[in-house]
Amino acid sequence: MKKLFTIMFVAGVLTLHAQTTQEQAEAIVLTHIQSVVTQPYTLYFNTGSPNADGLEITTLNEETVQIQHLCYAYYLAEFPAESEPARCRYLFVKVDNANLLELVTDGGSPSDMSQWTKIGLHETQAYTLLPYPNPVNDRITIPVTGAGALIEIYDMKGTLLVTEKTLGQEEFKLDISFLTAGIYMLKVNDETNSVNYKIIKK
């Protein structure tokens, strides 16, 4: 017998005057994941979304997830330690207002993966702290490790806009007030790690 899930709003992440783009939705999802997920994961995007008729997703456990809003849909397969159960996280970003909806199940991956495409694989989380605040107005604080790090910011076309070097601080404050509102890629390179974050400039 199938079980029907009820989806709950988890956050009003970002309010936009125009409709949310797929790039903005992905940035919202990745920012949320970075704040709640600490184990390795694989992120998938549902290529059939957004769909004006809504989405119905059936899991391997014969559970049904129904979404009646126009949303971008994401599926996160988490890989916790052996002593913990595997979890699946469904994330939905509404097109009209960018609100984020979330559902977490135990082992309930989609039964049909034909419309899901892999967009991210994260085997480690080198930085336990995340750049904040995100979204950001003027100054963003970036945790760094080691003797120093190279901080770079790129636009979504891959153009390098900012390059800064830290001098051994545990946290580095970067002024990005001159950037226009939008989504950017923040790259942190230190002696042993290279980590990318999507940030939203308000």
Domain ranges of the chain: 3-122, 139-201
Q: Please provide the DSSP assignment of 130-153 as one string.
A: --BSSSBSSEEEEE--SS--EEEE
In tens digits, what is the pLDDT along the chain, a chain of 202 residues? Answer: 444 444 444 444 433 346 888 888 888 888 888 777 766 777 888 888 888 877 888 777 777 878 888 899 998 877 655 555 566 788 999 888 888 888 887 657 788 888 888 876 554 444 445 788 878 889 998 877 666 788 999 887 788 999 998 876 677 889 999 999 988 888 887 766 667 777 888 8
Do 90 and 100 meet the contact criterion of CB atoms below 8 Å apart?
no
- The CATH-assigned architecture of domain 139-201 is Sandwich (2.60)
pTM score, whole prediction: 0.55
- The first and second tokens of residue 188, run together, are 């942190």
Do 169 and 156 meet the contact criterion of CB atoms below 8 Å apart?
no
